[in-house]
Structure 1
């Protein structure tokens, strides 16, 4: 009986398979060798779409060496001109990964692909510089903008964001004014960035005035991000009645309330002890089809721990697991911190030891919190065990905690344990 030869994969079919393949390693292998039985003298003719898809998958997975292999192969293509957006994506991937040298190298290499650099790739590199917090290099790079075209709204938005990150709102306003002088229309991102900067600087009155100008003068509608920014600023001042008016305004403008909005309100309500209202917002959140996430549950845990309601904090921890929302290390650290504060060091230690079984490894904050708690309640033998494990893991204890620990041992006259600890400390470097 003759064996059936599998039908060769076409370039169109390969694009579909790459799009559907969730594992970037398998997608890369498929891209490299779509038809293993194909005649090697007749190389596979990849489409531009398959190049775009595989570069995007590899970039998102931070598989940069493999991504560079694909770019090298793309450079040999003579059937089509490589579009600029491919390089914009690559530069953005490197910028988000804080690999500035690679981002710069990609920008410089664009002409070698017979592709012209425009304001689009310029903006991508400008944003990469911002992600890497190279604000001085941004300034120098912007001076050469004319070689690539006229600055657009995206260019100015990146510059305004840099000013706000640098807490230099006066310069941000100058950039905003220049934007208008050059005839570039501000976008909702422009206003959102400026309003965020004003809120971080506690200039809420100006933030609200700008929102009104945005709507009345510039005819730009606020989006969810802008409203969430305002909500966070308001909640920071404790004016929850105004926060709820903003929430109602969002509903009135038919802007969908997302998880960030609900999380901000829940956290603010719990901070001032309004537990019942916070639970009401949580129910509203669920009823509106907005699924609580780890941030939501951590806000609840933090709120309950803040009012020493550890029973409710544990209940939230259990609910997270039931709802398929895995608790993270912050969830546990908050409870461990509260247990230590209340002198329940044994319970804190039990929860700490139980973390790996629950699928969450302790981090440096977990170790420091428990160690400090044990020292504070003079449980020095248990503290010595945690310290030893901490140093073995490569974590550095805080100097203040060590001083408290050593002073406690000296006070007890426990010379043997003190020598053991000093030996152990010799293995680590204290901050």
Structure 2
């Protein structure tokens, strides 16, 4: 039986483009029976498919083959994509290695790949490495708008607002024109830092000097900022300005207003905004549900909160909404209902997270339900979660106060078996009981001695 007819580079590219499954595309690309010559386009297609699917080992295999295929001078944008795929996979060191190896791919690195590396490091929050490479910026030419946008964003992530503003001033001095992203980043950072006067000044500069129109997200950040400082009248002024400028209000704007109004005790106005939201064609999302759940819980109206958890508005709340209800139930002493709700979450297709377990554990301890708390603690540890150190210390202290040393021994043995018994606070509690509570000293001393030996 003769060998199959070789597939042309064009045909290979067509096959790769049409194949939705990255694993099958990988098999097609490496099929040894086809004997085709690979084109840059086919390399680009398969690397992109594998990178987007986070199939990093397979992508690296193709990348090594491309590296060794000396017929091709690899285009810089392809390597920029590889750097971004490493960022998405949270592999910053490999992103750096790829950037440094660009010359070995018969390609000259430019500001484009340098910016890709900076952005990858920002995605992975490697701020020190950003600083290191930023010192080499002159090797790749003067910074452009993209470079400054990345560096400014990095500063805000680190809480260095003043340095971000210095970079913006540097942009203007060197005639690098800021864009929508620049102003959006600056305004967002200033609002997060509650520097609202400067944020509004930046919006004015954006419009008057650079003739850029603020987008919905700029207005939303300003609205969130003024709501945080309790200036709701300015939030409505922003809403009016958006409507005058022909910007369609989105669900984030409405959620921001509703949440702020409820927190300020202006329930009727909040309900009117919700009605306006509905009339504008927007449906509730998980954030809207969480806002309403929070309000009903503040009113101790748990039946309405449960109604929203049941998806009555056509959308299921996320785990945040459940955690709010659980927290409030624990706060008012309904710890049994909180426990039942946590147990029911998987049936409701919502997976409890570390906050869920910590909230329930804290609530059970607060109401001295230590046996139930021990069960929750065991489930937490099994799932890889740990309670707050303060909560764990209070739990141990509570068991000691009750003299429930049998349960204490079981709990501490479980902690020790999982490598979690390394808390100085727990030792201090045990030592305190041994030294001060003479009537109860025998049992805790046995536990203390056994764990010290282990």
- What TM-score range do you get, normalising by the shorter chain? 0.7 to 0.9
CA contact (8 A) 2:396 2:408 kept: yes
Q: Which position in structure 1 is the counterpart of 2:23?
A: 25
Q: Which position in structure 2 is the counterpart of 1:70?
A: 62
Pair 1:125 & 2:126 matched: no
Task: Give distance in 1, aligned partners of 2:332 and 2:357.
Answer: 17
Pair 1:395 & 2:385 matched: yes
> Which stretch has the larger CA shift, 124-133 or 350-359?
124-133
Q: Which position in structure 2 is the counterpart of 1:104?
A: 96
CA contact (8 A) 1:156 1:175 kept: yes
**SS at 1:426's partner residue?**
helix
Pair 1:208 & 2:194 matched: no
Deviation sequence 1:233-269 (CA, Å, 0-9, x none): 1111121221122122222223333343333223222
**SS at 2:414's partner residue?**
helix
Task: Give distance in 1, aligned partners of 2:396 and 2:169.
Answer: 59
Pair 1:359 & 2:359 matched: no
Q: How does 1:38-117 map to 2 (within 5 A)?
A: 39-40=33-34, 42-43=35-36, 45-46=38-39, 48=41, 50-77=42-69, 81-117=73-109
CA contact (8 A) 2:310 2:316 kept: no
Measured after TM superposition, the shift of residue 122 of structure 1 is 0.7
CA contact (8 A) 1:198 1:204 kept: yes
Q: How does 1:328-347 map to 2 (within 5 A)?
A: 328-347=318-337
Q: Which position in structure 2 is the counterpart of 1:412?
A: 402
Task: Give distance in 1, aligned partners of 2:273 and 2:52.
Answer: 34
Task: Give distance in 1, aligned partners of 2:24 and 2:129.
Answer: 38
Task: Give distance in 1, aligned partners of 2:383 and 2:71.
Answer: 54
Bigger CA radius of gyration: 2
Task: Give distance in 2, aligned partners of 1:83 and 1:326.
Answer: 46
Deviation sequence 1:275-322 (CA, Å, 0-9, x none): 4444444444454444543233223322322332222221211127x7
CA contact (8 A) 1:336 1:351 kept: yes
Q: Which position in structure 2 is the counterpart of 1:350?
A: 340
Q: Which position in structure 1 is the counterpart of 2:167?
A: 175
Q: How does 1:244-263 map to 2 (within 5 A)?
A: 244-263=236-255
**SS at 1:319's partner residue?**
coil
Pair 1:135 & 2:133 matched: no
Pair 1:144 & 2:145 matched: no
Deviation sequence 1:38-69 (CA, Å, 0-9, x none): 953x3264561x44344333323322112212
Deviation sequence 1:71-114 (CA, Å, 0-9, x none): 22333556654322222222122234432110111111222222
CA contact (8 A) 1:224 1:257 kept: yes
Task: Give distance in 2, aligned partners of 1:359 and 1:30.
Answer: 38
Measured after TM superposition, the shift of residue 385 of structure 1 is 1.9
Task: Give distance in 2, aligned partners of 1:280 and 1:71.
Answer: 57
Task: Give distance in 1, aligned partners of 2:300 and 2:25.
Answer: 50
CA contact (8 A) 1:391 1:427 kept: no
CA 1:406–1:164 in structure 2 vs 1: closer, same or farther (change >3 Å)?
Answer: closer
Task: Give distance in 1, aligned partners of 2:30 and 2:383.
Answer: 40
**SS at 1:267's partner residue?**
helix
Task: Give distance in 2, aligned partners of 1:243 and 1:7.
Answer: 66
CA RMSD of aligned residues (A): 2.8
TM-score after normalising by structure 2: 0.82
CA 1:400–1:172 in structure 2 vs 1: closer, same or farther (change >3 Å)?
Answer: closer
TM-score after normalising by structure 1: 0.86
Task: Give distance in 1, aligned partners of 2:322 and 2:72.
Answer: 54
CA contact (8 A) 1:380 1:409 kept: yes
Task: Give distance in 1, aligned partners of 2:318 and 2:109.
Answer: 43
CA contact (8 A) 2:296 2:304 kept: yes
> Which stretch has the larger CA shift, 307-316 or 23-32?
23-32
CA contact (8 A) 2:16 2:25 kept: no
Q: Which position in structure 2 is the counterpart of 1:14?
A: 15
Pair 1:381 & 2:381 matched: no
